[in-house]
A = this chain, B = another copy of it.
Amino acid sequence: MSDPDAGPRTRPGGRSARVRAALFEATLAELVENGYAALSISTVAARAGVHRTSVYRRWPDRDALLEAALASLTAEPVRPEDTGALETDLRRYAEGIITVLNGPAGTVLQALLSSDARSLPQADRLRQALLSSRRALSAQMLARAVQRGEIPATTVADDVVDLLVAPLYFRLLLTGEALDDALAARTARAAAAAARAGALTAQTD
């Protein structure tokens, strides 16, 4: 690239990074408030207070900009901690996901999953990226619990994490009840108990 300040390789923290962050925020806000059909580089640029040509220098069209804005939402996934016990590992992890879902990324995700924008290929890729990154990261928590002898070695890590996380999305997308630390504690307690009881091992049903 001839322009070291353009495109996704830009170092974080500089003016260019701030412009990019503002553009991503404006893109997602426009998508949530006015929908994909109305999304345009002109509207986004105006909302972010950036000249259109600065946008076109980085992204050729609105789809490229939208893709980059959505990718930024999963750029910093929640990382499991090692607390020394499965239930507290799961609890911290659920608390981290709840923090994200209660923040701006959660608003965007909810809007994307609950509106006509859901059918966009970009929304589908975001959904897939979110799930695969979560499953890859959380497998480590379960491997540690197996090593400590807390749960059977045949425990299916994805099933434990789905059981932990599903009640969060159930509230976000269906019941509308609060996502809070009490929910994190309860769902972690339940998922850990089910795993310890051997209810989440690979079985023929």
A residues neighboring B (CB under 8 Å): 35, 113-116, 118, 127, 131, 159, 162-163, 165-167, 169-170, 173-175, 181-182, 185-187, 189-194, 196-200, 203, 205
Contact = CB atoms under 8 A, between A and B. Distances in A.
Nearest to A200: B190
B131 A174 contact: yes
A149 to B, nearest CB: 17
A116 B176 CA distance: 17
In the complex, the count of this chain's copies comes to 2
Contacts of A159: 186, 190
A169 B173 contact: yes
Which of A159, A169, A174 has the most chain B CB atoms closer than 10 A to its own CB?
A: A174
13 contacts: A114-B118, A115-B118, A127-B174, A131-B175, A159-B190, A162-B170, A163-B163, A163-B167, A169-B174, A186-B199, A190-B194, A191-B194, A193-B193
A186 B185 CA distance: 22
